[in-house]
Amino acid sequence: MNTFINNQIELFQEKNKNRGRLLVSCPDQPGIVAAISKFLFSHNANIIESSQYSTNPENGMFFIRIEFECPGLKDKAKEIEEQFTEIASQFDMEWKLTHVYQIKKAAIFVSKELHCLLELLWEWQSGDLMADIALVISNHEEARDVVEGLNIPFYYIPANKDIREQVEEKQLQLLKEYEIDVIVLARYMQILTPKFVAENPNKIINIHHSFLPAFIGARPYERAYGRGVKLIGATSHYVTNDLDEGPIIEQDISRVDHRDNVDSLKKIGRSVERSVLARAVKWHLEDRIIVHQNKTIVF
């Protein structure tokens, strides 16, 4: 990691050493917000940001994300978590408490096309993507120079359907070694096995080059051209065992017309892909996403 980025991270950690994020999902009922607010107040915490959503006030689900400032949070963290379990049990909550100063470690997987990788690296270099990009894994060599030029470890692991399990064993070993929190598939053109996905639930973020659920699978731009579409898009989603059908995090579109051939569709689409993936990764890093069934709530 270069000195500038390291300094950016250190400044961010110092600034946010007392800041936490609480994500909660539970059956909707009266008193949830009051109980959480009272609990945080009892620990002298100040709520900085709060967003909530209810699917249905009667027999629905309730979701909330709270970001708060709490003096001495590092020292209080264990006590806070232990005491919050009582409230969680009372309201049947699924919950997660994260500490903003704990920068998430990311692994980026990429194949030949580098536009999404380059966007993430640019956002990271500028300090707008607050993560520790611990390594990049690729089944091609195209990304090596740019990755190693930023002092990020690069691992070339050739992959195809015939050796997929052996390849993923190496990849999983690296993810464990680097203590990876999130995996970003930045146009990594390999299908992951159920074992790989199961070991990383809601931790693998993919970019698919179509506006899902349209054109699932391979060659979406060619199929879009064949259908004469007037809008093309990109979708970032969490990976599940159902191809391109995981919980959607972010989508966007761009207008096209009859003058655009397949190559121009791809060129327009790459711009959409870059921005969609970058936003999805940022929201994950900022703990803004709650996954419920096969949907996401993004605060």
Which amino acid does the sequence have at 235?
T
Distances (CA, A) of 203 to 46, 53, 86, 143, 235: 29, 23, 28, 23, 16
> Which residue in 225, 206, 203 sits closest to 214, CA to CA?
225
Residue 263 falls in the annotated catalytic set:
no
Cβ atoms within 10 Å, residue 207: 26
- Active-site choice (181, 244, 260, 287): 244
DSSP character string of 96-155: EEEETTSPPEEEEEE-S--HHHHHHHHHHHTTSS-SEEEEEEESSSTTHHHHHTTT--EE
Q: Which pair of tokens denotes residue 86? A: 């009582």
Check whether the bond before 213 is cis (ω within 30° of 0): yes
Report the C-alpha gap between 215 and 200 in whole angstroms.
Answer: 25
Residues involved in catalysis:
244
